[in-house]
């Protein structure tokens, strides 16, 4: 089993008597020669016997308008909601991204692609995971509610991000 979705084994520090289910649908739709859209919807429930699991819902769409066979504009809208099994509270986040993209082909799947983007993200987090620097009485990797004395999450906030990105896969 892996911890916190980062792919590292936790060995015997994670009990093996939990349950997990994940239902995922993702794909792409071509509406016509100019418009296409990628989509994703997922439900995941990790029920751990140490009560440190999560229930996660996520949805997202990425419509694409093709200006030429190698240049397109993308908008990406996504929402995540994660409930802690331990605290019972939910963390929510949504984002909207606008990007100009140059890709090697006319398909929404064409790669490599390079894009410049602007993203607005908004989140409301009520819990987070302790780390090795959290102090006495807190176990690293365990979910805790935020308190007036200690913050484990990013709280409630928003930000705008600008950048460039290259995506290569085959």
pLDDT in tens, 98-129: 999 999 999 999 999 999 999 999 999 999 99
Q: What's the CA dihedral at 80, 62, 121, 79 to 10 degrees? A: -20
Q: What is the pLDDT of residue 137?
A: 85
- Alpha carbon distance, N-terminus to C-terminus of the chain: 28
Average pLDDT over residues 19-48: 97
**This model's pTM is above 0.85:** no
Average pLDDT over residues 11-31: 83
SS3 content of the chain, % helix, strand, coil (to 5): 0, 60, 40
How many angstroms separate the CA atoms of 82 and 33, rounded? 37
Question: Residue 17: pLDDT above 60?
Answer: yes
- Per-residue pLDDT band for 15 (boundaries 50, 70, 90) equals low
How many angstroms separate the CA atoms of 88 and 75, rounded? 33
3-state SS class at 11: helix
Q: What is the pLDDT of residue 2?
A: 42
Average pLDDT over residues 154-161: 95
Q: What is the pLDDT of residue 1?
A: 38
């Amino acid at each position: 089993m892996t911890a916190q979705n980062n792919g590292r084994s936790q060995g015997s520090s994670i009990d093996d008597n939990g349950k997990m289910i994940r239902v995922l649908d993702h794909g792409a739709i071509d509406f016509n020669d100019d418009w296409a859209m990628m989509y994703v919807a997922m439900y995941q429930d990790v029920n751990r016997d140490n009560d440190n699991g999560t229930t996660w819902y996520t949805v997202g769409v990425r419509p694409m308008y093709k200006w030429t066979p190698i240049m397109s504009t993308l908008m990406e809208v996504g929402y995540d909601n994660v409930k802690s099994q331990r605290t019972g509270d939910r963390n929510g986040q949504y984002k909207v991204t606008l990007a100009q993209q140059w890709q090697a082909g006319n398909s929404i799947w064409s790669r490599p692609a390079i894009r410049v983007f602007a993203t607005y993200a908004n989140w409301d987090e009520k819990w987070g995971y302790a780390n090795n620097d959290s102090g006495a009485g807190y176990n690293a990797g365990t979910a805790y509610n935020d308190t007036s004395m200690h913050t484990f999450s990013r709280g409630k906030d928003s930000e705008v991000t600008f950048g460039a990105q290259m995506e290569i896969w085959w």
